Structure 1
Amino acid sequence: MNILIVYTYPNHKSLNYAFLQKVLTGSNENANIKNVQLLDLYEENFDPVLVFNEQKRRRDMHTDPRLEKYRNQLTWADKIVFIYPIWWGRPPAMLMGYIDQMFSSNFAYRDKKGLFPEGLLKGKSVVCISTMKGPANYPLLWLHNAHKVLMKRALFGFVGIKKVKFFEFGSMEGSKGNQLKKLEKVYHYFKRLKE
């Protein structure tokens, strides 16, 4: 199994970075995982801003040479792991900018007759590891599960990725957040992962 980790947090002394380290450690101890690539969007200085004009058109984004490296990573990966905070009920703008550019027409999906497109990333799976200051049930009760609906239905389901696992951790800035227990949960998940 090839795993691509897309890490989106600007501080390497953070809880999100600790989750990244647990994913890496668990993956390295798992014989089912052959290769791991890490894409740290902030370290990479990834440009999340979409620019369309007469020279650069949205319909040509799937051939943009500036994004070829990232397309190759997504094509190579069997499993894509996203690590990010939830800010204002959704992933950070940096990650959304990556998604806007990478999950493009004729790379991640193809329009066809009918209501839904053909997903071109079939067979891949996703793990979303997210942290938030608010309580764990806040997105479900207050936001009608908007984060999971956005990621699973509006994005991954649209491009053909059916298998999506969420680790959505709340109360992460408080002393009662059980951070160590949650870090160990993620570590053991990747250490035991079979597919």
Structure 2
Amino acid sequence: MRVLILFAHPNHRSLSYAFLQKVIQGSRENPRISEVEVLDLYEDGFDPVLVFNEHKRRRDMHQDPRLAKYRAQLLRADKIVLIYPIWWGRPPAMLLGYIDQMFASGFAYRDKKGLLPEGLLKGRSVVCVSTMKGPALYPLFWLHNAHKMLMRRALFNFVGIRKVKFFEFGRMESPRGRQEAKLERVYRYFKRI
């Protein structure tokens, strides 16, 4: 199995970065995982800003040469891991900008007759590891599970990825947030998948 880890947090002293280290450690100790590739969107200088004009059209985005290396990473991956904080009930703009550009028509899906397109990234699976300051049940009850609906239904199912697992950890800034236990849980998951 080949794993691509997308890391979307600007601070390498953050809890998200600690989760990144645990995902890497568990993956490298897993004999079923043959390759671990990490894309730190901030460190890589990924430009999340969409630009469309008379020279750059949305329908051609799947051929943008600037994004070729990122498309190759996604195509190599069997499992895509996203690690990010939840800010204002959703992933950071950096990750959303990556999604806007990478999950483009002609690469991630193809329009066809009918209501839904043909997903072109079938056969892959996704794990989302996210942290938030608020309580863990806040997104479920207050936001009607908008984060998970966005990621699972509006994005991954749309492009053919049906297997999506979430580690959504709340109260991460609290001294009683059980951060070490949650880090260990993620490590163990990747060590044995």
TM-score (norm 2): 1.00
* 2:189 counterpart residue number: 189
* Residue 112 of structure 1: how far off its partner (Å): 0.2
* Residue 45 of structure 1: how far off its partner (Å): 0.8
* 1:120 counterpart residue number: 120
* 2:36 counterpart residue number: 36
Cα distance in 2 for partners of 1:143, 1:150 equals 11
* 2:140 counterpart residue number: 140
Partner AA of 1:161 in structure 2: I
Partner AA of 1:127 in structure 2: V
CA deviation vs aligned residue, 1:26-64 (integer Å, no higher than 9, x gap): 001000000010000000010000000010000000000
Structure 2 residues not aligned, in runs of 5+: none
SS in 2 for 1:128: strand
- Following superposition, which runs of at least 4 residues in structure 1 exceed 3 angstroms of deviation? none
Q: How many aligned positions are there?
A: 193
Cα distance in 1 for partners of 2:36, 2:145 equals 30
SS in 1 for 2:49: coil
Cα distance in 1 for partners of 2:112, 2:27 equals 38
* 1:91 counterpart residue number: 91
* 2:25 counterpart residue number: 25
Partner AA of 2:71 in structure 1: R
The alignment status of 1:169 with 2:147, answered yes or no, reads no
* Residue 25 of structure 1: how far off its partner (Å): 0.4
